Amino acid sequence: MPHFVIHCSNDILMGKAEHEINSEIHHVAHHSQLFEQGDIKVRVMPFNTYSVGTETASFIHVFASIMQGRTVEQRSKLSQAIVAKLVSMFPDVPNIAMNVDEFEKSTYCNKSLL
């Protein structure tokens, strides 16, 4: 962990390649100094059908899931840095947002912990 899952309208991938988006978000997350580089996971999930309010408008929304223990200020700075990077990459996309959710270490499990 952490996991950064990027939901977006499918037209986003016409402007930038998926691996480029992953790389840029990985870079920003690493430079936040909150995570080890090898622990950061980034995925892009494009959607063919969607609505934004009552319209079909381009969008990017990053869902971050991170281990508990960071301050509100750290999480806020992370969100602002990633949204700022996406705005610079996609200046014509009207809807760009992010939220950070924390999960408890006590309830987290992966293969290496078994």
So where are the chain's domains? 3-113
Residue 109: predicted pLDDT: 87
Q: What is the pTM of this model?
A: 0.93
Residue 108: predicted pLDDT: 87
Mean pLDDT over each residue of the chain, to the nearest integer: 95
DSSP 48-103: SS--BTTB---EEEEEEEEES---HHHHHHHHHHHHHHHHHH-TT-SEEEEEEEEE
Mean pLDDT, to the nearest integer, of 69-87?
97
Mean pLDDT, to the nearest integer, of 84-95?
97
| Residue % of the chain over a pLDDT of 70 | 100
**Domain 3-113 CATH class label:** alpha beta
Helix 18-31 with 72-89: angle, nearest 10 deg:
150
Confidence of residue 101 (pLDDT cuts 50, 70, 90): very high
Does position 10 have pLDDT exceeding 90, yes or no?
yes
DSSP 35: S
Nearest to 41 by CA among 49, 30, 31: 30
Residue 61: predicted pLDDT: 98
The residues pairing with 45 across neighbouring beta strands, listed in sequence order, are 7
